[in-house]
Structure formats: structure tokens, C-alpha cells
Homo-oligomer: A and B are copies of this chain.
Amino acid sequence: MTGRDGGAALTRDPRAPVVILVRPQMGENIGAAARAMANGGLFDLRLVAPRDGWPQESAFRTSSGAFSILEAATLHATVADAVADLARVFATCPRERHVIKPLLTARGAAAELRAVAAAGLRAGLLFGPERNGLDNDDMARADTLVRFPMNPEFNSLNLGQAVLVMAYEWWNAADATPARVLATHETRIATKAQLENFMRHLLAELDACGFMRVPGKRPIMAQNLFHLFQRGDITEQELRTLHGVVAELTRGRREFGRVVLDENDLPVG
């Protein structure tokens, strides 16, 4: 096998669910599934009767470096064998089935998988073959069905995408990233005093050039400008730039007596 060097170093979380691909047809899809597992912190892969045997070079090629998952994958003759040591089995199931089982969304399943893991139990996720999905005998080994809410006009996912949705939901079910933060990194957000200082500079120059000619309108115009510059989490560096912009723009007025405001407002004398 070629191309195994340089695979990603992946940590195995022993509480994470096992991914079980049932009779997968294409090696490429096994590789895509391994890649998606790595994205969501899943590691243990079990293959039930892959059509073209195992290992397959095509799987390594499409795994984007998730080699350690493929190398540790185990081969099983039957679903019963692949789930033998597990306490809970979830079956992904895009189509309606006439069986009585709890049916979860991907997000609901991820929450239950976290609860199962927290109880010290091991769970498995069954994914069916590319074309036909899991058969009724496979389904009879599952405790719970999982169906992803998707556009009903177009709800087919390939194997790698289906594994990605579950792996993504598993990861996100325990992820503490706030839904919204402010990316600041190296530069610093200006303080309100720094903003106030710039606004004084700007308003003084606007008063000087006559921009706010109608006296009664000055307060509302000043407020509007305050609102505008308040909005964008302005940084210290950006304020320095704006001070420079105002200084440069007003140089024209100083040199020629009056700044050009627009084409209808030409400089006089």
C-alpha cells in the first residue's frame, strides 16, 4: 500500500461511538467515511462484509490522511458480530420503515450518544450500503433509528456525507464554542474614550467646513455619526487610520479654502 506516510495523528476517544459500515460497496466511500469520522473525533471503524474485501487502497487514497482509523478498522461477517460488545445500536435510516423504534434526528441522536457514553456504555452507529441502505435484518439489531432532517425534495446523502453529519453532531454535542464571538486576535478594540476623541476630531472638522450648516440638525447628525462608528467594534489601529483620513481630507480645505464635497458643490475662490 502506498501513500500511508504523513497520516494525521488522531486521538482515540474510548467513549465515542463505533461506526459500523454494513456491506459498503466502494472503497472510496470507506475512505470518505474515515475522513468524516476524523473530523468529528470518532475513531473506531467496523466493516461488515465490504463488497471488495479489506483493506482497500482506494479507501486510504480518499481518507485525506485518516489512515490510523482505516488501519485499526476491524472486519466482521455479520452485523450481529459487529455489535456484539455494544450496549446501544443506532441505525441511520433515510427512508420510512414499518418498525416500532424511537426515531431521532441526528442532533437528538448525538445527545443520546453523549448520555450513553456518560453512563459508561458503548454505542454503535450503523450505516447501510450505498444503494439500498440497511435491510430489515440489520434493523432488527438496532435500538433506535436516526433520520437527518433534510430537504425532502433531495434527501440522499452519500456514505461519507451521512457519516459527516453524525460525526459533526457528535462533536458539536460536547463543543463549548460560543455560537458568536468577536474575532480579535492581535489588534485591540478601541475604548470608548478613544472613540469619543475621534468623534470630537471629526465633528470639529465638520463644523469648521460647514458640513452641518443647519444648526437645528446638528445634534441628530452627530448622533447618526456616533451610531455609525459605534457599530463595528472599531479597533485602535482603525481609529488611528480614521484620524489620518480626516486630517488628510481637511488639508484640501486648508490649502484651497474649501473642501470639495460633491460635484454640485465646487470650490469657490
Question: What is the interface of chain A, defined by CB distance below 8 A to chain B?
Answer: 8-11, 35-36, 38-41, 64-66, 96-105, 107-108, 111-112, 145, 148-151, 153-158, 160-161, 164-165, 168, 171-172, 175, 177-187, 189, 232-233, 235, 238
Q: Is A183 touching B235 in the complex (CB atoms < 8 A)? A: no
CA distance A185 to B160 in the complex (A): 29
Q: Is B161 touching A107 in the complex (CB atoms < 8 A)? A: no
Q: Is B41 touching A151 in the complex (CB atoms < 8 A)? A: yes
Q: Is B157 touching A39 in the complex (CB atoms < 8 A)? A: yes
Give the top 7 A-B pairs by smallest Cβ distance, nearest first: A108-B179, A38-B154, A103-B183, A149-B175, A41-B151, A149-B177, A98-B185
Instruction: Please indicate which of the listed interface residues A40, A112, A168 has the most CB atoms of chain B within 10 Å of its own CB.
Output: A168
Q: Which residues on the B side are within 8 Å of A101 (C-beta)?
A: 182-183
Q: Is A184 touching B11 in the complex (CB atoms < 8 A)? A: no
Q: Is B38 touching A179 in the complex (CB atoms < 8 A)? A: no
Q: Which of B38, B100, B157, B238 contacts A189 (CB 8 A)?
A: B100
Q: Which residues on the B side are within 8 Å of A9 (C-beta)?
A: 153
CA distance A100 to B104 in the complex (A): 39
Q: Is A172 touching B153 in the complex (CB atoms < 8 A)? A: no
Q: Which of B98, B105, B161 contacts A187 (CB 8 A)?
A: B98
Q: Which residues on the B side are within 8 Å of A98 (C-beta)?
A: 185-187
Q: Which residue of B lies closest to A189 (CB)?
A: B100
Q: Is B97 touching A151 in the complex (CB atoms < 8 A)? A: no
CA distance A156 to B38 in the complex (A): 10
CA distance A179 to B185 in the complex (A): 37
Q: Is A181 touching B38 in the complex (CB atoms < 8 A)? A: no
Closest CB of chain B to A123's CB: distance in Å? Answer: 15
Q: Is B96 touching A185 in the complex (CB atoms < 8 A)? A: yes
Q: Is B102 touching A153 in the complex (CB atoms < 8 A)? A: no
Q: Is A179 touching B102 in the complex (CB atoms < 8 A)? A: no
CA distance A112 to B90 in the complex (A): 32
Q: Which residues on the B side are within 8 Å of A112 (C-beta)?
A: 180
Q: Which residues on the B side are within 8 Å of A150 (C-beta)?
A: 39-40, 168, 171
Closest CB of chain B to A162's CB: distance in Å? Answer: 10
Q: Is A36 touching B172 in the complex (CB atoms < 8 A)? A: no
Q: Is A168 touching B171 in the complex (CB atoms < 8 A)? A: no
Q: List 10 A-B contacts (CB under 8 A).
A: A10-B153, A35-B154, A36-B161, A41-B151, A96-B183, A100-B235, A105-B177, A105-B178, A145-B183, A160-B161
